[in-house]
Amino acid sequence: MKVKHDDELPAHLKSLFIESVGISKSISEKLTADLTDSFRKDERFYCFTYSDALSYILKIYSLIFIDGLNYAHFVGSHFPDNEINANEIFEDALKGLRTLTNIKEPTKEYINGIKKL
């Protein structure tokens, strides 16, 4: 599947993609508020290190991402003209994430600007 930019989409998809931004922002703001509230109120979080906090947050968002992939696979399996599999959906999602974040794929020699040994 090719990653398309908003200006390449037909009108009906543009409006749905605009709607998807609103839905994701709303859910993200709610989750962020819930996490912030937990960090403030739950004493277990007071002993978190930087790594603990990031691991906790990223695990939550990773599990949500996986649920989204599974739902996309479920929906995709209902289109008879599409040969869809979970690996392709995952790779397409990574391409989309790289496009949205402008994070390039690591090269074989360098990862995040650090030379591989």
Q: Name the residue type at position 39.
A: F
3-state secondary structure (DSSP) of residue 79: coil
| CA angle, 18 then 23 then 24, to 5° | 95
Q: What is the rounded distance in angstroms from the CA atom of residue 12 to the CA atom of residue 6?
A: 11
Q: What is the pLDDT of residue 9?
A: 80
Encode pLDDT of 52-110 as tens digits. 999 999 999 999 999 999 999 999 888 887 777 888 899 989 998 998 899 888 766 76
Decide: pTM greater than 0.95.
Answer: no
* pLDDT reading at 117 higher than 70: no
3-state secondary structure (DSSP) of residue 75: helix
Query: Which DSSP symbol is given to 5?
Result: -
Report how far apart the first and last C-alpha atoms of the chain are (Å, whole number): 33
